[in-house]
Structure 1
């Protein structure tokens, strides 16, 4: 006979894995683009496209308050200068929270830039940027956001590239009370995306297309003001997950070799002193 704990654990897995199961149709809604977003292969693939008239986007059907959200993504190939492909979690409103990944297009043969930012209570300005160490257009790569009460960890193919710790005790706002949806979009930002806007979008290469698969949200689903992870339900491992020594070293390797901007080292931007979380 299954133990009471085992039954609780099974119930928790079924709740938090709800977004992981099934096709894209069950987990994602195309929200804008007038047909430029498409769900293909019986719900196994999703594409977003951009032309001179419009981009496109989608959002998750569910909202979450903590979780681990993964997506496989193949970025726009060739000359993608001026385009931005986004993948992020966000709440709504002027004081929204957001965990942001933006992939800035490039001139053919140059590396993509991964732009990351963390918003809490409507305040962002916590940018870190990385050059991807592979060609993200020739195959799918997995981009992950782990968000729990202790920290936010952004990973690429399982390698952590950024950690933002909960430092509320030091007065740093942390996103821990607003449910967020997952979003993605493909849009034109030629005024700033590539080399600060010096390289414009070549519309002769349009439509630009990004491809997605394997949306997977092991998360606390927020419904009618309540989390699926409340009460006596056992806590999943990701709820308390933090970087171990090996993961710390892998993140340090990425930041040493591929980070091209870090707000925590931008003394010109903060002449009166770096933000509190940077000093820590």
Structure 2
């Protein structure tokens, strides 16, 4: 077991295998499971395709996507973010239904900052075409110094965003209260690196410094475990999938403590408490964990 103590809070993490396993049980490499969606010259394959480097410069950013879509499951990647002055840049890891009118989407967006300031991760959830559910957390470590694991867990009960196995965001299935929940559309796995200095850092006040380009982010250990679409129609509804098991239907006691710690110490924005945008509290905000 790996143990760390940060800000008086004890983290206990299981040992992580050096190589992730994809849906079919084989080692996952970038070329096997992903395709480049734009600016191929700005994505460089490393270590025989087991890792990649994303490049942002004044000519272009870049992006990639999974070759398949998935309905429920868990996806994760290890990412090392842009070091130094990354203000105005956004590195994103997300799932998207690729449907224009009624979009489902689960977002990690890593917002760059000036040197010495912590990275901010923004999460957002679109369900049945409705988004505007942003939350922001300042990461409690240097996200550019080493790789860290970012995970999206998605089942019939809830969606959980994890950072190194620490839950930072929970969205429960509350369809019984007429709250939309993404469960009908499969989603692909995407990542992009691009310039967004009109909003990304301090609401657009901090602009990108192109003298610091190229901006480089690194990815490895691509891990997708879910129901591929097209695929067996019974997969997504099966209660036998491990991610639908009792242990994954709600946060356990340790996860709940970690979640509260993040919310108390590192949450810097929550749409649920933004009365200027939402004078009436959105119904999902009262669902708890």
2-structure distance, mates of 1:202, 1:227: 49
The total of aligned residue pairs comes to 263
The runs of 5 or more residues in structure 2 that have no matched partner are 1-20
Alignment pair present for 1:67 and 2:73: yes
When structure 1 is superposed on structure 2, of 138-147 and 233-242 the one drifting more is: 233-242
Measured on the aligned residues, the alpha-carbon RMSD in Å equals: 1.7
Partner of 1:5: none
Distance 1:20 1:146, change over 3 A: farther
2-structure distance, mates of 1:213, 1:259: 27
Moved over 6 A (4+): none
Map 1:142-221 → 2, pairs under 5 A: 142-221=149-228
Partner of 2:244: 239
Cα deviation for residue 168 of structure 1 reads 0.8
Cα deviation for residue 267 of structure 1 reads 1.9
Map 1:21-100 → 2, pairs under 5 A: 21-93=27-99, 94-100=101-107
Q: 1:249 aligns with which of 254, 257, 260?
A: 257
User: Residues 98 and 188 of structure 2 are in contact (CA less than 8 Å); yes or no, is this contact kept in structure 1?
Assistant: no
Partner of 1:279: 286
Q: Deviations over 1:14-51 (max 9, x none)?
A: x9722763322101111101410122211111111111
2-structure distance, mates of 1:151, 1:236: 15
Alignment pair present for 1:18 and 2:24: yes
1-structure distance, mates of 2:174, 2:161: 17
When structure 1 is superposed on structure 2, of 62-71 and 240-249 the one drifting more is: 240-249
Cα deviation for residue 173 of structure 1 reads 0.6
Cα deviation for residue 234 of structure 1 reads 6.7
2-structure distance, mates of 1:260, 1:235: 38
Distance 1:161 1:20, change over 3 A: farther
2:116 aligned counterpart, secondary structure: coil
1-structure distance, mates of 2:181, 2:244: 15
The runs of 5 or more residues in structure 1 that have no matched partner are 1-14
Partner of 2:18: none
Partner of 2:266: 258
2-structure distance, mates of 1:197, 1:56: 21
TM-score, with structure 1 as normaliser: 0.90
TM-score, with structure 2 as normaliser: 0.87
Q: 1:102 aligns with which of 99, 109, 112?
A: 109
Cα deviation for residue 268 of structure 1 reads 2.2
2-structure distance, mates of 1:98, 1:184: 13
